[in-house]
Every structure is written in C-alpha cells, then in structure tokens.
Amino acid sequence: MSGEPKRGAAGLLAWLDDRTGYRAFHQRIADISVDGGATWSRALGNAVIATLLVQSLAGLALMAVYAPSTTAAWSSVHYLSYTQAGGWFARGLHHWASHVLVVLVVAHLGLAIGRRVYAAPAEVAWWLLLARGALVLGLAITGHALPWDQSGYWARRVEVAIAGMTPALGPTLARWVQGGASLGQLALTRFYALHVGVLPLLLSAFTVLHIGIERRAAVKRRDVSGATTAQTPYFPAQAARDGALLVLVLLIAAALTVHARGAPLSAPADAASDYPARPEWFLLPLFMVRKLASGPWEFLFVAGVPAILVGYLLALPWIDKGVSATRGARAPVALVGLLSVIAIGVSLRRDAHDKAFVTAQSKADARAVAAIAIAKQGVPPEGPLVMLRRDAELRGEELFAKHCATCHILGNLGNEKDAIAPTLDGFGLEAWIEAVMHDPDANERFGKTAFTGLMPSVDVPNVELAADGPPFRPMTLEDRHATAVFLASEGDEATDVPKPSPRDAALVAKGEATVRERCTTCHMYKGQGDDSNQEVAPELSGYGSLAWVKAQIANPATKATYREHALDAEWKKHMPRYDHELSPLDIELVARWTRGHARGVSP
Ligand code: HEC
Ligand code: HEC
C-alpha cells in the first residue's frame, strides 16, 4: 500500500484485500482456462456439479423441518408439503431435480464414453466419474426412503429382499442393510445419515479429486503428444454454457414441481399393508431382469447383470485402447443403454395394462389422498399409522370389509350372492323402515335371516295368521309413514354432518303412539313391551342411533337391541357379537362407518 490512504468503501475494500488477498483470488478464478474451446459436453459435467450444489441448498431447507423418525418422518414431510410456507416448492424442486440429475449423469457418462475420456492416462479420473454416478443413484434411492411413505418403504423392502437372496451371506446382508430384523427406525436413521452426510461428503471429495486428476491427465496427455491445444478462458464462453444448462435444469425441475404441485407423498409406510411395490424408474431394467429368472437364478441375474456391466465400464480403458481392432468395445455399452430405455418403457406400459396393478395402485392412491386430508387436522404423537387406525372413514371401511361384508351389503361392499343379512344402505331411514314394515321378509331385509316369518307386514294380510288371529287391520299409508318418521328420528344424532333435517313433530308424536299401540306386542320400546315374552323382536328406542348400532355390533344379545337370547343356539344365523374380537375403539369406528354410510352422514 502506498500513497494517501483511501477513504470510504474503497478504503474498506483495500483493507479487506490487504488482510485476505481476495483480489488475487478473484483474479485466479477469472484466469481459469479450459482445454480447447468452450463445449457443451463440458457444460453437461459442470451442470451435474451445479445441480448437486442446488440440491444441497434445497436439502438444507428440508432438513430444517424433516424429522428422521418412523413416527414423525411422514408427518414432517406432510407439514413441509401442506403447511410450511414455500415448503412444497423446496421439496418439489429437490425431488424433481433429483430425477433430472439422474438423467444428466447418465447423459454425461454417455457423452464421456463417446469421447473416450477414459483413455490413458485418465483411467483414475474415469473411475471417479463412475463412482460419482453411483453416488448420485445412492442419493436418489436413500432420499426416496426418507418420507417413510408406502412408495419409498416398499421399494426398500424389495431391495432388502434382493440383498437377502445373496447365497450364504443373504440374511446377514439383509440385517446389515436394514439395521435389524425388519425395516424400521434403524434403517431410516441409516438412510438419513447416508443421504445427508456420508454420500454428499463422498460426492464432494470425489468431485474435487476428479477435477484435479482430470486436469493433471490432460496436462500429461499434452506433454506426451506434444500437441498444443489452445487454452481458452473459462469466462465467459464456457461459464455462459454452464449457466444456461443449469438454468434449463432448474426450469425443468420447477415446471415439474408446479405441474405436480410439489412432490408426491403416498400413504404412511405400513408393513402390514399390501402395496404394489416398484423400485425407482432407473432401476426398472433390473426389475425386469429379475422377473426373467426365478429361484437361485434370480439373485444371480439381479446381482450378476449389474456386476458385469460395472466391471465392463471399469475395465473400459483396457478393453478399448482405441486401436481399430477394439473399435467395437463401446458397442455393448450402447446396446445396454438402449435396452435399458426399452425396458423402462416396457415396464411402465406393462403396469399400465396390468389390471391388478392398476386396481392396487388406485386403492393406494385413494389411501394417500385420505391420509393427507386427515393429517391436515394434525397427526397424533404416536404417528400417522395410529392416526389412520383411529379414522372412522378408513378404519371403519377396512373393518366392515373384513367382518361385516360377508353377511351384509353396504355401498360397494358385500354382494347379493353371499348376503344372508339385511342390506344396510338406508338402514334406519324412513324408506328402509317403511320397507321393513311393508315386507320384513324381503331378501334385502330379513328374508334370509333366522327371523324370517316372525314379523308380519303392517299392510299385507298374512294368510296363515288370518285364520285364527283377530281380523287384520291394514295400517294406512299415513300411519306407516308417521311410524317410520318417528323411528328414523330415534336414530338422529345432533352431531350428524349434515345435520338431520327437522322432523314434523306431529308426525313423530303420531308415530310414537302407533309404536306403543301396535308394535310393542312383540318389540320393546324403552324397556316395555313384548307382551307374550317371545324375546325376539328388538328394542326400538334409540333405533339407528350410534349407541344402538354400537350395542348391536358389540353384542346383539342384550336388551339394548336384539334381546338377551338372540345368540342362543336356535338362532343360528343371527348376527355374531364382536366385543370379544374387536377393541371398543374398533367397534366405535365400524359403527360410525356403518351408520354414517347407511344414513348418508359423515362417520
Ligand atoms: C354372520 C352374518 C353377519 C355378520 C358377519 C354381521 N352381521 Fe349384522 N346382522 C346380521 C343379521 C342376521 C342381522 C339381523 C338381526 C340380527 O340377527 O341381529 C344383522 C343386523 C345388523 C344391524 C341392524 C340392522 C339390521 O339390518 O337388522 C346392523 C346395524 C348390523 N347388523 C351391522 C353389522 C356390522 C357393522 C357388522 C360387522 C361388524 C355385522 N353386522 C356383521 C348378520 C351379520
Ligand atoms: C309379531 C311380532 C312383531 C310385531 C307386531 C312387529 N314386529 Fe318389528 N320385528 C319383529 C321381529 C321378530 C324383528 C326381527 C327381524 C324380522 O323378523 O324381520 C323385527 C324387526 C323390525 C325392524 C328392524 C330392526 C332391525 O334390526 O333393523 C323394524 C324397524 C321393525 N321391526 C319395526 C316394527 C314396527 C314399526 C312395528 C309396528 C308397526 C313392528 N315392527 C311390529 C317382530 C315384530
């Protein structure tokens, strides 16, 4: 420093340069030169690095919200996607850029092979390039596991199963990969550590090494050949290409993000469910290879095919020395590339035409949509699976399908051929009740139950009873309707959504009077009735209410519904009790679901 000390900003910068030497550093950067002119293939390699940097930044943003625990991971990703401002975009960008990155890496490797970058003395630089590709795939795979959703979880299950097929070492290897007997918390912790720590560190190290060793190889090559390739400055020609490519990558990732409104999130990982597992798209060729073989061959194929390919790529510097005899050395790589693209296409097409897959997939999609909607009300600390098991809509349907649809029909569950119990659509509503009163023994009512023939129609004379009973008084349509309105009102709950429409008080009163007068000969109403102690006709107070339905499911053989003797041996086809089999919560959930879907209110 000489002369007058500078003042103001200039003085500050001069001081900073004196202490740090940043100007010289800046000059060194500006002086960076590249071999030959600016090229797009170099830009492709640099775009890979730049995209990785962007991924690290987006990844850091995600890390600020993500929780790597099997009970919290899904909820934290849900929070990120649906609550945190801008979270959906950060996650979407990170997700879609990772797909673009895989394409870039493969394209870059393809170009590199085309340009024979592996030729001596750049063998080591070539291996580092291959290792970098493998690490990028590793990042994509471990990243896919982190949301701990069905799609990531089941893809990992497939991979662990493959690791488990290794002869002799299989079980040990599988345990090692998942960190225990099953794919759980330890596995997730490992994936997380790999994804945010180990792999990025290795990737940075390999990238730096690759740049250094490649430059050294270039110098060496020049020295050997004696040729002088022109050195062109990195700025601005090459920098412009690198920048343009990066912007293109980001634009594609952003467009995909906006199109998909973020990144996909399937339902929370559930080991007890079935899910149409598929690996990442770039592993689909392997998935196809796996399908070609079975038994011990399966492992040989799945491990052998990539091993041969990787071995071939590693050995390329020797296989292809560039002399005319080995000119075809690159053909197998091109062929494998082509076959892989075809395999991916065929796999996707095959799935799209596979009915079982499409059904399973749309079931899984529906569950994902439901889970995402439910989680918006908050996820309990026990995690999203517990949340789903407490949801009347999801859990109720699951329970009904498993326990009730064998006898009953409701909505699209159950079927006419097997049904031996009343169809529950509309159960407890006026029309359903009027139908029972008119024809209790219709097939879709009690015709196939043990009770058939026990309740007379209110308006159709019964020939057998007519002979010795009192003269038949058919009920008027108005009375029938009033009775049905009254009984339907017994099932109304103030908490129903939508709210029950107000019932005509006069009709209700008239209906109640009719029940007391005409029905309690057999039925109970508020604990009174059943004049001849037959103990077969159910209690009608609270009929169709949540409490009534719950009581019926827990145990129909109580005075709350079908009376104490309903499960006696003579009533063989009677509805079974579930209080021994299902938890009180499950009974509540299936009752809510059944009643809700029967009456058209939310469960
Ligand atoms: C083995 C066949 C069978 C199974 C399984 C069964 N039910 Fe029933 N259910 C019946 C029969 C028969 C009736 C008629 C009344 C009775 O027997 O209690 C009935 C009656 C009912 C009723 C009263 C309305 C009506 O139509 O009479 C409801 C509500 C009901 N079942 C719900 C369920 C639910 C929910 C499940 C599953 C948890 C279930 N049922 C399982 C046979 C079955
Ligand atoms: C002769 C005896 C008898 C009389 C009288 C009788 N019921 Fe019933 N009711 C039954 C029996 C038994 C059942 C069980 C299912 C069946 O047999 O249809 C039943 C079932 C019902 C059900 C369906 C319960 C369920 O599980 O969903 C309704 C609703 C009903 N009765 C309404 C009435 C009304 C309203 C009256 C009066 C107008 C009436 N019943 C009169 C015997 C009777």
Average pLDDT on 585-600 reads: 97
Ligand 1 within 6 A of CB of 554: no
Q: Which ligand is nearest to the CA of 565?
A: 1
Quote the pLDDT of residue 351.
Answer: 95
Q: Per-residue pLDDT for 454 more than 80?
A: yes
C-alpha 532 – ligand 2 centre gap (Å): 15
pLDDT band at 343; cut points 50, 70, 90: very high
Would you state the pLDDT for residue 162? 81
Residue closest by Cα to atom 34 of ligand 2: 519
Q: Is the CB of 436 under 6 A from ligand 2?
A: yes
451 lines ligand 2 (CB under 6 A): yes
pLDDT at 462 over 80: no
Residues shown for the chain: 603
User: Does residue 340 have its Cβ closer than 6 Å to ligand 1?
Assistant: no
The span from the first CA to the last CA of the chain, in angstroms, equals 81
- What per-residue confidence (pLDDT) applies to 466? 56
The arithmetic mean of pLDDT across residues 205-218, rounded, is 94
Query: Sorting pLDDT into bands at 50, 70 and 90, what band is 467?
Result: low
Which residue pairs from 449-455 have beta carbons closer than 8 angstroms and sit at least 24 positions apart in sequence? Answer: 449/420, 449/421, 449/422, 449/573, 449/574, 450/570, 450/571, 450/572, 450/573, 450/574, 451/536, 454/522, 454/536, 454/537, 455/522, 455/537
The pLDDT assigned to 155 comes to 93
pLDDT at 325: 57
**CA-based nearest residue to 263, from 143, 94, 71:** 94
Binding site membership of 454 for ligand 2 (Cβ less than 6 Å): yes
Q: What is the pLDDT of residue 257?
A: 97
Widest distance between CA atoms in the chain: 132
Q: Is 405 in the pocket of ligand 1 (CB under 6 A)?
A: no
Which of 459, 523, 561 most suits a substitution to test ligand 2, by most atoms within 8 Å of the C-beta? 523
CA distance 436 to 456: 10
Q: How many CB atoms lie within 10 A of CB 252?
A: 15
| Amino acid, single-letter form, for residue 561 | T
Six-digit token string for 81: 């996607």
Cβ count near 75 (within 10 Å): 21
Distant-in-sequence contacts of 344-350, Cβ < 8 A, 24+ apart: 344/281, 344/282, 344/284, 344/285, 346/288, 347/284, 347/285, 347/287, 347/288, 348/281, 348/284
User: 460 pLDDT exceeds 70?
Assistant: yes
Give the distance (Å) from ligand 1 centre to CA of residue 557.
12
Q: How confident is the model at residue 359 (pLDDT cuts 50, 70, 90)?
A: very high
- Which numbered ligand comes closest to the C-alpha of 521? 2
Closest ligand relative to 593 C-alpha: 1
C-alpha span between 185 and 342 (Å, rounded)? 37
CA–CA dist 62, 87 (Å, integer): 8
Q: Please report the pLDDT score of residue 498 as a whole number.
A: 94
For 94, other C-beta atoms within 10 Å of its C-beta total: 22
Protein residue closest via CA to atom 25 of ligand 2: 538
Model confidence pLDDT, tens digit, residues 439-452: 999 999 999 998 89
Give pLDDT tens digits for 87-113: 999 999 999 999 999 999 999 999 999
106: tokens are 């493969």
| Ligand 2 atom 6, closest CA | 519
Q: Say yes or no: CB of residue 590 within 6 Å of ligand 2.
A: no
Q: Which two tokens stand for residue 384?
A: 């999203």
Give the pLDDT band (50/70/90) at residue 261. very high
Mean pLDDT score across all residues of the chain: 92
pLDDT at site 461: 85
Does residue 254 register a pLDDT over 70? yes
Q: Give the ligand 2 atom nearest the CA of 452.
A: 17
Quick one: what percent of the chain has pLDDT higher than 70?
A: 98
Quickly count: other Cβ atoms within 10 Å of residue 581's Cβ.
10
pLDDT tens digits along 271-313: 988 899 998 999 999 888 888 887 778 888 888 889 999 999 9
Structure tokens at 423: 């169809």
pLDDT of 1 higher than 70: no
Average pLDDT over residues 215-239: 85
Per-residue pLDDT of 493-549, as tens digits, reads 999 999 998 999 999 999 999 999 999 999 999 999 998 888 889 999 999 999 999
Query: Cα(166)–Cα(174) distance, rounded to whole angstroms?
Result: 9
Q: How high is the pLDDT of residue 465?
A: 60
User: pLDDT by residue (tens digit) across 174-200?
Assistant: 888 888 888 999 999 999 999 999 999
pLDDT at 3: 59
The rounded Å distance from CA 437 to ligand 2 centre is 7
- 546-553 own/partner pairs: CB under 8 Å, 24+ apart: 546/493, 546/591, 546/592, 546/595, 548/490, 548/491, 549/591, 549/594, 549/595, 550/587, 550/588, 550/591, 553/578, 553/582, 553/587, 553/590, 553/591, 553/594
What pLDDT, on a 0 to 100 scale, did the predictor assign at position 176?
A: 85
Task: For residues 61-70, give the mean pLDDT.
Answer: 97
Please report which confidence band the pLDDT of residue 2 belongs to, taking 50, 70 and 90 as the band edges.
Answer: low
The rounded Å distance from CA 537 to ligand 2 centre is 6
